[in-house]
């Protein structure tokens, strides 16, 4: 894998089952070890209430964002991330259901991708402070969805409360 362009990419991590902190730390190490990929930055880890589609109670989530540089194509990266989700015991039950590990491609360079398996920028990211706050922490100048400043998007979701929990293990 040395022919691909090098692309800066942001990955969202989420977990609300089976020791979420360990899930995120393990996922970060595995992402850092992906072929043709280099981990550039890690946000802190944030806790928030679960967004749900029904009234069934769910544990709080831990979320974080990583910035990587990769020569993988977006689909190759998605394949690799889904393999990591499976390795960490992810069972897909229902949409927005509880999960050991959710890995979403938030941004892949400045590309817009719309194929059946992949929509980038991630279709919900501007509505979710559990994505926007960690993203802002590592890239405060970033603009997404129609060139809107990230601070503005965060303010639009001001009813969503997040708590910064801690750093990743060994975060530089
Ligand atoms: N897919 C399309 N675009 C992407 C992308 N940019 N990145 C496809 C990753 N995958 C993408 O995802 C379903 C399919 O989306 C994949 O097969 C892939 O081909 P999934 O992860 O299997 O299903 P899901 O996670 O149940 O659905 P979805 O819509 O991805 O859910 P979300 O948006 O990830 O939401 N509350 C808090 N506080 N924190 C959370 O992290 N997460 C969710 C899940 C709900 N509530 C939450 C949180
Ligand atoms: Mg997902």
Dihedrals φ, ψ of 55, to 5°?
-95, 5
pLDDT in tens, 17-39: 889 999 999 999 999 999 999 99
1 band by pLDDT with thresholds 50, 70 and 90? very low
pTM over 0.85: yes
Residue 20: CATH number of its domain? 3.30.70.560
Specify if 1 maps to a domain: no
Mind giving me the DSSP string for 155-172?
HHTTT---EEEEPPTT--
Residue 111: inside a domain:
yes
pLDDT at 16 over 50: yes
Does 100 sit in the ligand 1 pocket, CB within 6 Å?
no
Active site residue 102: yes
Mean pLDDT calculated for residue range 113-119: 97
Any domain includes 79: yes
Ligand 1 atom nearest to 60, measured from its CA: 38
Task: Using a pLDDT cut of 70, give the percent of the chain over it.
Answer: 91
158 pLDDT higher than 80: yes
Q: Is residue 92 part of a domain?
A: yes
**3-state SS string over 119-150?**
EECCCCHHHCHHHHHHHHHHCCCCEECCCEEH
Range of the domain at 52: 7-124
- DSSP-H helix ranges across the chain: 20-32, 74-87, 129-138, 150-156
CA 96–ligand 2 middle distance (angstroms)? 8
Ligand 1, atom 10: closest residue by C-alpha? 104
Q: For a pocket test of ligand 1, which of 88, 95, 116 has the largest count of ligand atoms closer than 8 A to its C-beta?
A: 95
**What pLDDT sits at residue 48?**
96
Does residue 103 sit within a domain?
yes
Q: Tell me, what's the pLDDT at 93?
A: 65
* Pair 147, 49: CB distance under 8 Å: no
Mean pLDDT of 69-87: 96
Domain count for the chain: 1
- Give how far the C-alpha of residue 109 lies from the chain's centroid of Cα atoms, to the nearest Å: 15
100 — pLDDT class (breaks 50, 70, 90): confident
148 is a domain residue: no
pLDDT for 172: 41
Query: Is position 18 within any domain?
Result: yes
Is there a catalytic annotation at residue 104? yes
Give the pLDDT score at 110: 92
Question: Residue 146 has what pLDDT?
Answer: 72
> Is residue 92 annotated as part of the catalytic site, yes or no?
no
Catalytic residue among 8, 55, 95, 99: 99
Measuring from atom 18 of ligand 1, which residue has the nearest CA?
Answer: 117
pLDDT averaged over every residue in the chain? 91
pLDDT value at 73 more than 80: yes
Ligand 1 in contact with 10 (CB < 6 A)? Answer: no
d(C-alpha 135, C-alpha 93), whole Å: 28
Residue 167, in any domain of the structure: no
Atom index in ligand 1 nearest the CA of residue 49 equals 38
Atom index in ligand 1 nearest the CA of residue 81 equals: 9
At residue 2, does pLDDT exceed 60? no
Tell me the per-residue pLDDT of 135-155, one tens digit each, with 9 for 90 and over: 999 999 998 877 788 999 999
């Amino acid at each position: 894998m040395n022919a691909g362009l090098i692309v800066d990419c942001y990955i969202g991590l989420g977990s609300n089952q089976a020791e979420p902190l360990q899930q995120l730390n393990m996922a970060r190490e595995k992402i850092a070890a992906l072929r043709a990929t280099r981990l550039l930055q890690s946000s802190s880890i944030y806790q928030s209430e679960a967004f749900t589609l029904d009234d069934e109670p769910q544990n709080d989530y831990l979320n974080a964002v990583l910035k990587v540089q990769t020569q993988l194509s977006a689909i190759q990266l998605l394949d690799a991330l889904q393999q990591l989700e499976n390795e960490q015991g992810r069972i897909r039950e229902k949409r927005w259901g509880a999960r050991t590990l959710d890995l979403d491609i938030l941004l892949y360079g400045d590309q817009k991708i719309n194929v059946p398996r992949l929509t980038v920028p991630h279709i919900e990211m501007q509505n979710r402070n559990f994505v926007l706050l960690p993203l802002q922490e590592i890239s405060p100048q970033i603009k997404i969805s129609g060139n809107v400043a990230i601070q503005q998007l965060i303010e639009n979701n001001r009813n969503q409360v997040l708590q910064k929990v801690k750093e990743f293990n060994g975060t530089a």
